[in-house]
Amino acid sequence: MANNLTQHKKDFLVYVEIERGRSAKTVENYNHYLERFFSWLAEDKNVSRETLQLEDLNEDKVRAFRVWLNRKNLSKQTQNYHVIALRVFLKFLAHKGIEALSSERLELAKTGAREVAFLEEDDLERLLNAPKGKDIRTLRDKAVLAMLFSTGMRVSELCSLDTENINIEKGEFAVRGKGDKIRPVFISEKPKRILKDYLEARANIVEKALFVRIPRGKSVTNFTRLTPRSIQRLIKYYAVKAGIVGKRVTPHVMRHSFATDLLRNGADLRSVQELLGHASITTTQIYTHFTNPQLKKIHEKFHRDPE
């Protein structure tokens, strides 16, 4: 069993969760990508997964697996996720002093520049004003939209918020983001008022989650935390209601809109990086092509249409 790949994978997942302190979702993702590779490898060698050994994980097999992934028409980014999982697994083996393929032998595929989708000001205004009414469900929906744009939080971060996390008067609180890192989040004045209206409307709801499902029926008391999928559906519903056509509006588009708005109004890149919770400023730089007013000035000054 010393060189059994399946056992090493189990040890790796425990290591990632306990010693590295990664989230359950991260562990789940690593397991998913490694499982796909192990299943392919077992089928390729015509053996059971449980009998796979370390020596089966070699450079030729990894290359063949990548060809297989590519021919399944997966995006380059998705293909890279598999490679990243393998590299982290191999680094774990090296860390434990187990001789295996070097992680440095695995290079990521080159990907094109990431596309950044965001809402222009008029679309954004219509979306934020789309929830109409004073009932608790509408007030909740309005607060969800306002919080996403005001804070730039990831949808998973928004869903994890509890009522005790929020200090409306201060307009500032901490959120635990990717890599278990804590960063400050700020709420501007209008979202403060919207959130306050929602909290007053849900005062009798005994549930620690900030944003909850509102069941139909007055006697129902079973309130549960909203999920990312629920918020995706919520945003899609109000985007249609707001008349936003030809654009896919998602929680991440709201996050992109937050970042774009900051940079267009003069915020520096490093501050936006901190507000978004990006580990690397390279990730934040994807927005600069869309927010650099100097590019437009150069185009207007030097570009001439033919007579």
CATH number for position 79:
1.10.150.130
Tell me phi and psi for residue 233, to 5 degrees: -65, -40
Instruction: Give the side-chain half-sphere CA count within 13 A for 102.
Output: 3
Which pLDDT score, from 0 to 100, does residue 289 have?
A: 63
Which pLDDT score, from 0 to 100, does residue 111 have?
A: 65
Mean pLDDT of the chain: 86
Q: Which amino acid is at 140?
A: R
Relative to beta strand 172-176, strand 182-186 is antiparallel
* Interior angle at CA 26, CA 28 and CA 49, nearest 5: 40
**From the centroid of its chain, how far is CA 200?**
30
Same domain, 285 and 177: yes
Residue predicted with more confidence, 23 or 165: 165
Same domain, 155 and 256: yes
Q: Is the dihedral of CA 194, 200, 206, 208 positive or negative?
A: positive
Same domain, 98 and 135: no
Residue 178 annotated among the catalytic residues of the structure: yes
Looking at the chain, the whole-number percentage of residues with pLDDT higher than 90 is 44
Same domain, 73 and 173: no
Q: Closest Cα partner for 254 from 147, 172, 181, 141?
A: 147
Instruction: Give a yes or no: residue 210 inside a domain.
Output: yes
Other C-beta atoms closer than 10 Å to the C-beta of 279 total 11
Same domain, 55 and 203: no
| 8 Å CB contact between 131 and 234 | no
Residue 137 annotated among the catalytic residues of the structure: no
Instruction: Give a yes or no: residue 111 inside a domain.
Output: no
Instruction: State the maximum Cα–Cα separation within the chain, in Å, rounded to a whole number.
Output: 77
Same domain, 289 and 140: yes
Average pLDDT over residues 242-257: 89
| 8 Å CB contact between 8 and 2 | no
Instruction: Give a yes or no: residue 87 inside a domain.
Output: yes
* Number of separate domains in the chain: 2
Which residues have a Cβ under 8 Å from the Cβ of 293 and sit 6 or more positions away?
264
Q: Which of 178, 183, 193, 225 is catalytic?
A: 178
Same domain, 203 and 166: yes
Instruction: Give a yes or no: residue 75 inside a domain.
Output: yes
**Where does a domain end: 81, 105, 129?**
105
Q: Closest Cα partner for 89 from 34, 20, 18, 28?
A: 34
pLDDT at residue 147 greater than cutoff 90: yes
Q: How far is CA 223 from CA 145, 205, 258, in A?
A: 20, 8, 30
Q: Which of 49, 225, 252, 264 is catalytic?
A: 252
Instruction: Give a yes or no: residue 285 inside a domain.
Output: yes
Which residues have a Cβ under 8 Å from the Cβ of 81 and sit 6 or more positions away?
29, 33
Residue predicted with more confidence, 257 or 113: 257
pLDDT at residue 196 greater than cutoff 60: yes
Q: Which of 22, 142, 255, 256 is catalytic?
A: 255
Residue predicted with more confidence, 266 or 30: 30
Residue 202 annotated among the catalytic residues of the structure: no
Q: Which of 154, 202, 238, 256 is catalytic?
A: 154
Full domain range(s) for residue 23? 5-105
Q: Which of 33, 81, 198, 287 is catalytic?
A: 287
Same domain, 48 and 144: no
| 8 Å CB contact between 175 and 185 | yes
Q: How far is CA 306 from CA 103, 173, 271, in A?
A: 54, 55, 42
Instruction: Give a yes or no: residue 155 inside a domain.
Output: yes
Average pLDDT over residues 71-87: 89
Same domain, 62 and 136: no
Instruction: Give a yes or no: residue 113 inside a domain.
Output: no
**CATH code, 223:** 1.10.443.10
Same domain, 83 and 183: no
Q: Is the dihedral of CA 79, 81, 83, 85 positive or negative?
A: negative
Which residues have a Cβ under 8 Å from the Cβ of 28 and sit 6 or more positions away?
none
Instruction: Give a yes or no: residue 115 inside a domain.
Output: no
305 band by pLDDT with thresholds 50, 70 and 90: low
Residue 225 annotated among the catalytic residues of the structure: no
Q: Is the dihedral of CA 242, 246, 249, 254 positive or negative?
A: negative
